[in-house]
Amino acid sequence: MSSCCDMRTELSGKSVLVVGMARSGLGAVEFLARQGAVVVVSDNRPAEALGPEIQLLKESRIDWEAGGHTDKVFSKAELIVVSPGVPLTLPVLQSAREAGIEIISEIELASRYLEGKIIAITGTNGKTTTTTLVGEILKTAGFPVLVGGNIGTPLISLVESSTPQTWSVVEVSSFQLEAVPSFRPHIAVILNLTPDHLDRYASFEAYAEAKFQVFRNQTESDFAVLNQEDPNLRRVADRLRSPVLWFSASREVTRGAYFDGSHIVLKSPDRSESIVARGEVPLKGSHNIENVAAAMVVAHLAGVAPAGIADGIGNFKAVEHRLEPVAEFRGVHFFNDSKATNVDATIKALEAFDSGVILILGGRDKGGNFRVLSPLIRQRVRSLVLLGEASSTIRSQLTGTAPMLQAGNMKDAVRLSFQQAKSGDTVLLAPACASFDMFQNYEHRGRAFKIAVRDLIQGRE
């Protein structure tokens, strides 16, 4: 089954508007221009904030507008490709929709031209680790594989490398799934669902429905992989046309993978096979047992033999910015979990440590409830170091849970954390917030943390 072709349209000479100049938007621009489309780009950010992007557009002789979106530009488009950061509720997009202009996401555009089969992985947390692990297992087993999407490389940038034999392993976000009339992964995974992005969605239910779009175009010949532990996912299973396989970190499943207390087991209706022991999983935290089990199910569905799955897991290394070990200095361990951009991710990070944690929290609030962190903070956290816009909100919601210190920047946060730590303790960056108040993205924040740790060790703090 190829994922393209039925919805493929002639782009040469077609007027296409790309909304947003971030990575996926620029990837779409480059692809569309190579196909001969007449491309225009619109971005709400001021031109002075888009210097390199605008220079690229000028060199390619592509028209653009910045500092706002105009009806004039939108009304002329025959097709609009929307970047993930752009809400579909924008008035100019609503007007375009009413005028009959097709509006799609970058992953939808890519899927119309991508050859081979798509594995789409989403969920509130664990997407990047699981996507990377699936790619590693397939690569180790000798499968032709491409990895991209929300993980960093836009899916549209993989199109020209794809063949009918390719497996494209794609991390997808709720934002990317809001406009996917034909996007059809052969294997679709939702790892978990907890409240997130409530600064964009009116409710948790609206956020969950956006995630469920990953199954929208699947048929009986595709597969859905769901977390048995998540009640929201158990409820959605009956709505799906595709057969469902399950994974679990605590209970046996009828078809899929589960942790039996010592091994992760691959289970079919007529057979059970232990694939890896817990000690052979090179990832910290109980949540990563779920991620590994999910990856095992996907790899099995793709045709990887059990021995090949075990080899891929054994070769895997922790992904940058996801409970990433950074350094040990004077008995204090430093971990970078900058990707913990919501409260649930911070819970999972804290659960990976028994006690003695100095926790760096803060950034831009996404509407999360920090109070739910209270029990774990009381049990495992020695001190809280607050950083960024959400500091006052966090302080008000977590007063009385642990001593709190305020940092002015990341270097300050690392210095204060180390001062609070004792030998054997852990300094953990798991902010429970977005990064955009002080940093370009979570990667930038994670790198700043690692640089600050390095400077501390080298005596430059």
Catalytic residue ranges: 127, 150, 197
List, in order, residues 6 or more apart from 235 with CB less than 8 Å away: none
Q: Where are the strands (E) in 192-239, listed by range? A: 223-227
Angstrom distance (rounded) from CA 60 to CA 395: 49
Q: In this structure, what DSSP letter does residue 308 have?
A: H
Nearest in space to 343 (alpha carbons), one of 376, 299, 310, 392: 376
Q: Which residue has the tokens 């046309």?
A: 241
Angstrom distance (rounded) from CA 130 to CA 21: 27
Angstrom distance (rounded) from CA 322 to CA 326: 11
Angstrom distance (rounded) from CA 176 to CA 88: 11
Angstrom distance (rounded) from CA 430 to CA 424: 18
CA-derived radius of gyration, the chain: 23
CA dihedral 356, 362, 366, 370 (to 10 degrees): 40
Count of alpha carbons within 13 angstroms of residue 57, beta-carbon side: 25
Helix (H, G, I), strand (E, B) or coil at 162: coil
Angstrom distance (rounded) from CA 229 to CA 15: 46
The answer to whether 299 and 169 have CB atoms below 8 angstroms apart is: no
The answer to whether 432 and 343 have CB atoms below 8 angstroms apart is: yes
List, in order, residues 6 or more apart from 460 with CB less than 8 Å away: none
The answer to whether 178 and 105 have CB atoms below 8 angstroms apart is: yes
Distances (CA, A) of 459 to 329, 407, 445: 11, 19, 21
Our measurement of the distance from residue 157's CA atom to the centroid of its chain's CA atoms, rounded to an integer in Å, reads 17
- Determine the Cα angle at 399 with ends 379 and 382, to 5°: 35
